[in-house]
């Protein structure tokens, strides 16, 4: 069909969705299956090398958490135009990370660290702070964020009634509704990443110099527990609420727009 040239999709393993923005967004997740395999190995290694012997329930837990993240991405590859599959990919990715990261650190500390008592003794404090951050991020954020969620739900309801939604509409009205989301995606790059990670790296270096390797692991665990885990879980809860309120058991098919 002469005259119409379509731009190549952002990743060769993903069919053209009709939105360069959405393809780039999805492409960030599609190649992370191996990450969950590596995380599973990182969790199983200290448990299998544990002096007292491996605990079967821990091995099963590590495998299940890794399987959640891996399966969500695997499932989306087979249903790339399904909104439910795409949103489950995001949620499965978040759930897998939220479970695996603190668990791996706990397993490493219990097997090799000399300060494991800090993890056990103050566990209620870490869990309480994480719960407060989670509740705030999931349910109490200001009107701007509540309005963004309602806008997301309205867009999904429109798509459910039509049984389809353009890829660009989905990207703009569902994925990028929260304040600053678009600019964060547009401006994200090595410089921004370094600016965010840099202070933490410096902090961990200082912690390592004063408290050794065990201190670095403990600092990373606290940061993941009270910031990373509640943020990931809050995002999952908000998406699940939107899906339940807008879609129920229905699905939406993403349809392509012409590239500009």
Out of 6-20, 66-80, 128-142, 218-232, pick the least confident.
Answer: 6-20
Between residues 5 and 141, the one the model is more confident about: 141
Distance, CA of 146 to CA of 10 (rounded, Å): 31
Q: Quick one: average pLDDT of 178-196? A: 57
**Mean pLDDT of the residues in the chain:** 83
Model confidence pLDDT, tens digit, residues 93-111 = 999 999 999 999 899 888 8
Q: Read off the pLDDT band of 31 (50, 70, 90).
A: confident
- For residue 186, pLDDT over 80 is answered with no
What integer pLDDT is reported at residue 71 of this predicted model?
A: 94
pLDDT digits (tens, 9 = 90+) for 188-225: 554 554 555 555 556 545 655 566 678 888 888 999 99
For residue 173, how many C-alpha atoms fall within 13 Å in the half-sphere facing its CB?
16
Which runs of consecutive H residues, i.e. helices, occur in the chain? Answer: 20-30, 33-48, 56-78, 83-112, 116-121, 123-135, 143-162, 167-170, 181-187, 190-223, 229-246
Q: What confidence score (pLDDT) does residue 198 get? A: 56
Give the pLDDT of residue 182. 66
pTM of the shown model: 0.83
What is residue 141's predicted lDDT score, i.e. its pLDDT? 80
């Amino acid at each position: 069909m002469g005259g119409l040239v379509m731009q190549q999709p952002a990743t060769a393993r993903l069919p053209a969705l009709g939105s360069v923005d959405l393809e780039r967004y999805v492409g960030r997740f599609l190649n992370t299956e191996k990450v969950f395999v590596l995380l599973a190995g990182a969790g199983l290694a200290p448990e299998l090398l544990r002096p007292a012997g491996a605990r079967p329930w821990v091995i099963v837990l590590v495998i299940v958490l890794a399987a959640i993240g891996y399966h969500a991405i695997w499932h989306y590859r087979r249903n790339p135009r399904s909104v439910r599959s795409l949103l489950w990919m995001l949620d499965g990715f978040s759930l897998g990370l939220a479970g695996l990261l603190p668990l791996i650190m706990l397993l490493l500390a219990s097997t090799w660290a000399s300060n494991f008592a800090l993890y056990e003794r103050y566990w209620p404090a870490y869990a309480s702070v994480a719960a407060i951050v989670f509740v705030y991020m999931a349910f109490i954020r200001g009107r701007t964020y509540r309005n963004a969620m309602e806008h997301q739900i309205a867009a999904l309801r429109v798509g459910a009634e039509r049984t389809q939604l353009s890829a660009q509409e989905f990207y703009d009205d569902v994925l990028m509704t929260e304040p600053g989301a678009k600019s964060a995606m547009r401006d994200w790059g090595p410089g921004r990443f370094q600016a965010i990670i840099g202070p933490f790296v410096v902090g961990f270096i200082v912690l390592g110099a004063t408290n050794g390797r065990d201190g670095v692991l403990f600092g990373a665990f606290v940061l993941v527990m009270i910031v990373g885990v509640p943020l990931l879980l809050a995002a999952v809860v908000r998406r699940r609420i939107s899906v339940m309120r807008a879609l129920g058991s229905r699905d939406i098919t993403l349809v392509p727009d012409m590239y500009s």
